[in-house]
Structure 1
Amino acid sequence: MSTPTLPRSTAAPAFESAFRPDWPLDVRRSLSVHLRGTGDPTLRFEQDGTWRVTTTPDGPATVRITVVGGEVRVAAWGAGAEWAGSRVSLWLGADDDPSALDCRDHPLVARLHRTTPWLRLGRTERTWDCLVPAVLEQKVTTTEAHRVWRALLRLAGEPAPGPAPEGMRVPPSPRRLLEVTDWEWHRCGLDGARRRALRAVTSVASRMEPPEAVDSADLQRRLRTVPGIGVWTAAEVVQRVFGCPDTVSYGDYHLKNQVGFALTGQARTDDDGMMALLEPWTGQRHRVVRLLLTNGVARAPRFGPRNAPTDHRRI
């Protein structure tokens, strides 16, 4: 006889806390940087709050975040409930310092900085959860990467602990990822290069987690020693793990053109040109990029045919 599923409202959280942010917090926009497309099994924005599933050093956790009267209320379930729940303020950027950005000499950036007071760079302190989807996004369209991420979570992820919304899943552990067979990877639609990169990082995953990886620069060095992990992937990871305000996603297909268009009006810029444009804000370059992207001023015109994604399941 199968065990009936309890209604979400009947499962008591293993951890609860509350705090009042001293900045104009926007939970949805703060956490959307972790959202991997519509239907991401690890992050949901529901009427009863924001739900996020994560791994922790103590085991999986489901966290619900609600805001009532300016107070952020946190409830968490699972073996890692206390670890994850106690770090929600960091996810939302409580220890970020946006005042470190000096943009007085650039009217556009100064205006965006002034009119986007909610923008904080949060940190998750979980490399694995950021690294797996970043590898899946290498050299493919965003749509294709998100489809594979959902397929992988359905295949190898565990159901989220506690009363999470239906379909939420915990990212598979390194050990579970190694158990995925070649034909299962093929069914998910993952090509050989990204498959090899994922297998490579599973063997060193424990050495990539804070506090062993002490800061952004150290984690990038460690990541780039792994075959298949380059500058772009390492940047995407440290932006989320440490809330790094400076590391830019060098090598991104669109970003160089978006930044170049926002700052110069030119439709095309290369990666080195982008870095030259951002050089005046060294130390805060990623924050400037986020300001440009968030406010919709970095929409470079596109030329040529759309890139049709390759469905590796049919190869």
Structure 2
Amino acid sequence: MELTPERCYDAFIAHDARFDGRVFVGVRSTGIYCRPVCKVRTPRRHMCDFFPSAAAAEAAGFRPCLRCRPELAPGLSAMDASATLAHAAASLIEAHLAEPLTVTILAARVGVSTRHLHRLFLERFGVAPAGYLRTRRLLLAKRLLTDTRLPVTEVALAVGFGSARALQSAFARHYRLTPSALRARPVRALEAGTLDFELAWRPPYDHVRLLAFLAGRTIDGVEQVEAGEYRRTVRVGEATGYLAVSPGPTALRVRVSASLARVVPAVLAGVRRLFDLDADPLAVGEALGALGRDRPGLRLPGAFDGMEMTVRAVLGQQVTIKAARTLAGRFAAVFGTPIDTPWPAVRTVFPSAAEIAELSVDAIASRGVIARRAQAIISLAGEVAAGRLTLSPGAPVDATVARLQAVPGIGPWTAHYVAMRALAWPDAFPEGDYGVRAALGMCTAAEARRQAEAWRPWRAYAVMHLWTRLGEENPS
């Protein structure tokens, strides 16, 4: 859908949540920019400027609205092939705000020149990569200052400013605020020792089906779905802890252990990936047509930890989902690390790639895993630990799929399944998948591929619809 100024203004008047995060409205009379869902008195059309990102609005001199809080808007998913690299770099920014990122580092990670990345960001987000990075850091800092009682110094370090003084200077320069000005309101705490956040989505959002998908594939000890709440242990770098996610009317409620405060950007980015919060149902629905009509809010489950999800996928090759859960839970119990959480059934941190790479084939095989799969898991972990393979959004898809298939024991199905979930690649398509072919009338892989051409660039969403359709037609 083309976002003309007239259409953007209509969405602003209607407070249309479908446009939340896709467009931001700068009001010239106040110098403030808002989300389309903002309930402030609507300004006249000639007083409004429209921007494709919060960063573009800030680059034009607008400051974020303290009422609708642009930092709470949903993110963006790739809407066409030309935007893919820009979104890959944006995903890296979201997950690594605390690190010393530069445009050169981002360009190298997505495999393009700095000049090309600069051009792609201007086309997609209306601002250069450096400006986008600065705005994401400022907005997350604003959120942490508003919603938590973390010390200003910890907030500064968590979002990559390096010091409280640097954060204060940036706030004064860009927002004309001091950090303390955002702490006038009391912060709601769910329990001692936790941080509480909300992550918005664009409607419609089928949380029930997504949670059911995750519930069927949880790793015992690491994850749990209980009473509509998703729980898991977390490892980000050297930090470990836990989180819980439950649905609200327009957003997910995320509770994070205070032990993860320094890595909050990576944790929230992981939740967004896992629950596919940045999807654009309008764009997906237009491409899928009749296939997606009955389930317009169906999402593509991602992966909080790409290595963990890939191990689970390898263990699940040619066995039932139940058997794969048993193997994955056994693997985590033996090779993972115990930690304390509020839940007796969630007490194990899945082993890191470096830890898995040090295991022997015999050690894994002794837990009921076929030796060939055990070797594949160790080989994959070694590639990830060495930095030769990245199993997260932002990795070059074709090269990653090829590298995965170069590992003995990893075939096209596993590689494309990993691309769907760990890389969050919306056009991944495991054409030989039995469920896909069965939902299409037991056609051949070639015929499945031919039919799927109409669903580009959202074929991975088509796969989810086909799997869901098959499951609902054959619930046993």
TMscore range, shorter length:
0.7 to 0.9
Aligned pairs for 1:65-214 within 5 A? 65-77=245-257, 78-79=259-260, 82=264, 83-101=266-284, 110-124=289-303, 126-206=305-385, 207=387, 208-209=389-390, 214=395
Q: What RMSD, in angstroms, separates the aligned Cα atoms of the two structures?
A: 3.3
Among candidates 443, 449, 465, match of residue 275 of structure 1: 449
Among candidates 11, 23, 41, match of residue 221 of structure 2: 41
- Contact 1:154 1:169 (C-alpha < 8 Å) held by counterparts: yes
Distance 1:125 1:95, change over 3 A: same
Structure 2 residue ranges without an equivalent (≥5): 1-189
Percentage identity across aligned positions?
22
The Cα of 1:284 is off from its aligned counterpart by 1.9
Among candidates 418, 434, 440, match of residue 237 of structure 1: 418
Distance 1:233 1:72, change over 3 A: same
Distance 1:281 1:211, change over 3 A: closer
Deviates more, 1:166-175 or 1:53-62: 53-62
- Contact 2:362 2:371 (C-alpha < 8 Å) held by counterparts: no
Report the Cα distance in structure 2 between the residues aligned to 1:20 and 1:260, rounded to whole angstroms.
Answer: 34
- Contact 2:222 2:347 (C-alpha < 8 Å) held by counterparts: yes
DSSP 3-state at the match of 2:323: helix
Aligned pairs for 1:218-257 within 5 A? 218-252=399-433, 254-257=434-437
The Cα of 1:209 is off from its aligned counterpart by 2.6
Report the Cα distance in structure 2 between the residues aligned to 1:118 and 1:272, rounded to whole angstroms.
Answer: 28
- Contact 1:16 1:73 (C-alpha < 8 Å) held by counterparts: yes
- Greater fraction helix: 2
Report the Cα distance in structure 1 between the residues aligned to 2:374 and 2:399, rounded to whole angstroms.
Answer: 25
DSSP 3-state at the match of 2:293: helix
Report the Cα distance in structure 2 between the residues aligned to 1:69 and 1:98, rounded to whole angstroms.
Answer: 17
- Contact 2:437 2:443 (C-alpha < 8 Å) held by counterparts: yes
Report the Cα distance in structure 1 between the residues aligned to 2:448 and 2:390, rounded to whole angstroms.
Answer: 30
DSSP 3-state at the match of 1:223: helix
**Structure with the larger RCO, 1 or 2 (CA within 8 Å, 6+ apart):** 1
Deviates more, 1:141-150 or 1:234-243: 141-150
Structure 1 residue ranges without an equivalent (≥5): 1-8, 262-267, 303-315
How many residues end up aligned between the 2 structures?
282
Distance 1:224 1:161, change over 3 A: farther
Distance 1:97 1:177, change over 3 A: same
DSSP 3-state at the match of 2:432: coil
Distance 1:35 1:42, change over 3 A: farther
The Cα of 1:64 is off from its aligned counterpart by 0.6
Among candidates 233, 244, 259, match of residue 53 of structure 1: 233
The Cα of 1:283 is off from its aligned counterpart by 1.8
Report the Cα distance in structure 2 between the residues aligned to 1:111 and 1:17, rounded to whole angstroms.
Answer: 36
The Cα of 1:192 is off from its aligned counterpart by 1.0
Report the Cα distance in structure 2 between the residues aligned to 1:52 and 1:166, rounded to whole angstroms.
Answer: 10
- Contact 2:220 2:345 (C-alpha < 8 Å) held by counterparts: no
Task: In structure 2, give the amino acid aligned to 1:221.
Answer: A
DSSP 3-state at the match of 1:16: strand
Report the Cα distance in structure 2 between the residues aligned to 1:100 and 1:144, rounded to whole angstroms.
Answer: 36
The Cα of 1:30 is off from its aligned counterpart by 2.4
Report the Cα distance in structure 1 between the residues aligned to 2:383 and 2:249, rounded to whole angstroms.
Answer: 44
- Contact 1:54 1:129 (C-alpha < 8 Å) held by counterparts: no
Among candidates 63, 68, 88, match of residue 243 of structure 2: 63
Distance 1:292 1:256, change over 3 A: closer
DSSP 3-state at the match of 2:296: coil
The Cα of 1:99 is off from its aligned counterpart by 2.7
Report the Cα distance in structure 2 between the residues aligned to 1:71 and 1:17, rounded to whole angstroms.
Answer: 10
DSSP 3-state at the match of 1:115: coil
TM-score (norm 2): 0.52
- Contact 1:135 1:194 (C-alpha < 8 Å) held by counterparts: yes
Report the Cα distance in structure 1 between the residues aligned to 2:354 and 2:445, rounded to whole angstroms.
Answer: 36
